[in-house]
Amino acid sequence: TQLLEQSPQFLSIQEGENLTVYCNSSSVFSSLQWYRQEPGEGPVLLVTVVTGGEVKKLKRLTFQFGDARKDSSLHITAAQPGDTGLYLCAASSGSARQLTFGSGTQLTVLP
Amino acid sequence: EPEVTQTPSHQVTQMGQEVILRCVPISNHLYFYWYRQILGQKVEFLVSFYNNEISEKSEIFDDQFSVERPDGSNFTLKIRSTKLEDSAMYFCASTGYWGINEQYFGPGTRLTVT
């Protein structure tokens, strides 16, 4: 069973600061997704990465997939209060399509 | 923008009762999934469904659970005899591509078993 470890678990920063959250495993993934989840709602897909070393940008969010496809990071530049939320990574390996989720990073951006 | 929808948003039931949770996946998607999230815990995979049959299931998905695609649009999860520990948010997801496992989630059904 693959495990996804996310760090930090909680992060509270001031508006305008930069931050990075991490998603790590000992397993190799075929693809990895980042989601954002608000309380009482379903995960909303932000990005999918599939190639080792891949970097994807979504406005102020930069996602990187590790060269060995075992880890990923999410970097937010100039965080805003609207970025507040739970950020989840999820991955699948081999031919399996079931997603394994991490526990998430709860981000709070203070105005 | 196409989205996955789920009904009801909240279901309260008594222990031992049967419940059916409904989902309408994104039109033209081919793969369908159910996940659950117990309050304060991780999202957990239950089952995946493709070409009118189960393709993967977790150990959580025991004989009390079943899935069905009764028509061309709906995808349902049935729990035959609910237990207190079945209380959770249940999420439906779908994806349309074989190669890239990009799953889109619905808003969830909150199931409360009393």
pLDDT-based confidence at residue B38 (cuts at 50, 70, 90) = very high
Chain CA centroid to CA A81, Å: 18
Q: Does B106 touch chain A (CB under 8 A)?
A: yes
Q: For chain B, state the CA radius of gyration.
A: 13
Q: Give me the torsion for CA of A51, A43, B67, B60, rounded to 10°.
A: 80
* Closest-CA residue to B75 (of B13, B1, B4, B10): B4
Question: What is the Cα–Cα distance from A41 to B105, expressed in whole angstroms?
Answer: 9
- pLDDT score at B98: 67
Closest approach of chain B CAs to the CA of A79, in angstroms?
A: 25
* Closest-CA residue to A35 (of A83, A104, A94): A104
DSSP letters spanning B2-15 = ---EEE-SEEEE-T
Q: What is the mean pLDDT of chain B?
A: 94
pLDDT tens for residues A74-110? 999 999 999 999 999 999 887 778 999 999 999 999 9
Q: Are A63 and A46 in contact (CB under 8 A)?
A: yes
Domains present along chain A, CATH in parentheses: 5-110 (2.60.40.10)
Closest approach of chain A CAs to the CA of B64, in angstroms?
A: 20
Summarize the confidence of residues B50-74 as an average pLDDT: 93
Q: Test B42 with A103 for CB contact under 8 angstroms.
A: yes
Chain B contact set for A104 (CB, 8 A): 42
Q: Test A31 with B100 for CB contact under 8 angstroms.
A: yes
CB-closest option in A33, A42, A102 to B106: A42
Chain CA centroid to CA A85, Å: 12
- pLDDT score at B72: 79
Q: Test B31 with A97 for CB contact under 8 angstroms.
A: yes
Q: Give chain A's length.
A: 111
Chain A contact set for B35 (CB, 8 A): 99
Q: For chain A, state the CA radius of gyration.
A: 13
Summarize the confidence of residues B82-92 as an average pLDDT: 98
Model confidence at A24: pLDDT above 70: yes
Proportion of chain A above pLDDT 90, given as a percent: 87
Side-chain-facing half-sphere of A2: CA atoms under 13 Å: 25
pLDDT-based confidence at residue B37 (cuts at 50, 70, 90) = very high
List the single residue in B with minimal CA-CA distance to A29: B101
Residues B90, B94, B95, CA angle at the centre, nearest 5°? 150
pLDDT tens for residues A25-45? 989 998 999 999 999 999 999
Architecture of domain B5-98+106-113: Sandwich (2.60)
pLDDT-based confidence at residue B32 (cuts at 50, 70, 90) = very high
